[in-house]
Amino acid sequence: MAGRNLIIFGPPGAGKGTQAPRLAAEFGLPHVATGDMFRAHQREGTALGLRAKAYMEAGELVPDTLVIEMLVERIGQADAADGFLLDGFPRTVAQAVALDVELAANGSRIDALLVLDVTEEDVVTRISGRLVCANGHVFHETFSPPAVAAVCDTCGLALARRADDEPDVVRNRYRNVYLAQTAPVRDHYTALGVPALDVDGTGSTDAVYERLRTALQRP
Ligand code: AP5
């Protein structure tokens, strides 16, 4: 396995939140998803959740200072001492640099990016049918429907659309945010010699999962 500090990377709707929990469980890593963390803060009504809400609903990035502080606190917890799978972070080069500085202070670094490759059309089709529960379990009306309509198979909570999944917001997240601000994070790590493991993100979720496992197990 290519080290234990991993990032799952790709545009909104690429399947990061679908694949990461399974991958993290198999490889014994905590799944650290900044989008899920912000949504939990919103449900709990914290000051951080309130500050993040308007940015998220518009499909814009939450300011770096807020997300970096939250992330650094999370990876400082005991369960992340031997590695982690980051999902949704870093999303700007400034976030990547802050993460690198934090890891370097502990003699550590990012070991690999797992990059899910999908097209803009895949993104829009997937997100337009996405259903999620409050615990972040992900379904799709057509591609992975729940056994009982609008009920989470895993925890029994109600399923609903996300506020930022409207088509106009999705296109903003893909074009103006992902391509413009997040894609350069990959170049940042390439310049540091960190491998980016490209994985075809199309096909069934099981097929994508097997490709991810294979990429991680490659020497
Ligand atoms: P976040 O929650 O991270 O959203 P995202 O990156 O935009 O990613 P998504 O959750 O939309 O997609 P995904 O790749 O996880 O796809 P999924 O598995 O659900 O962030 C939300 C917001 O929070 C941001 O816009 C920002 O405002 C803020 N934020 C978070 N982190 C931040 C940061 N670091 N800095 C600043 N702001 C931050 O799959 C999508 C759908 O496709 C599902 O319905 C699924 O069932 C389906 N699907 C998955 N795989 C397949 C397949 N193989 N075939 C068919 N359908 C599939």
pLDDT tens sequence across 80-108: 999 999 999 999 999 999 999 999 999 99
Task: Answer whether residue 1 shows pLDDT above 70.
Answer: no
How far apart CA 9 and CA 7 sit, in angstroms, is 6
Continuous H helices in the chain: 16-27, 34-44, 47-58, 64-75, 93-104, 120-128, 167-171, 183-191, 205-217
Our answer to whether residue 109 is catalytic in this structure is no
- Residue 10 Cα: closest atom of ligand 1: 14
The angle that helices 64-75 and 47-58 make with each other, rounded to 10 degrees, is 120
Q: Give domain 5-120+167-217's CATH architecture.
A: 3-Layer(aba) Sandwich (3.40)
Residue 54: per-residue pLDDT: 94
Q: Which amino acid is at 85?
A: L
Our answer to whether residue 211 is catalytic in this structure is no
Our answer to whether residue 53 is catalytic in this structure is no
| pLDDT band for position 3 (cuts 50, 70, 90) | low
68 in contact with ligand 1, CB cutoff 6 A: no
Task: Answer whether residue 218 shows pLDDT above 90.
Answer: no
β-bridge partners, 130:
140
Q: Residue range 203-214: average pLDDT?
A: 97
Residue 21: per-residue pLDDT: 95
Question: Domains of the chain: which residue ranges?
Answer: 5-120+167-217
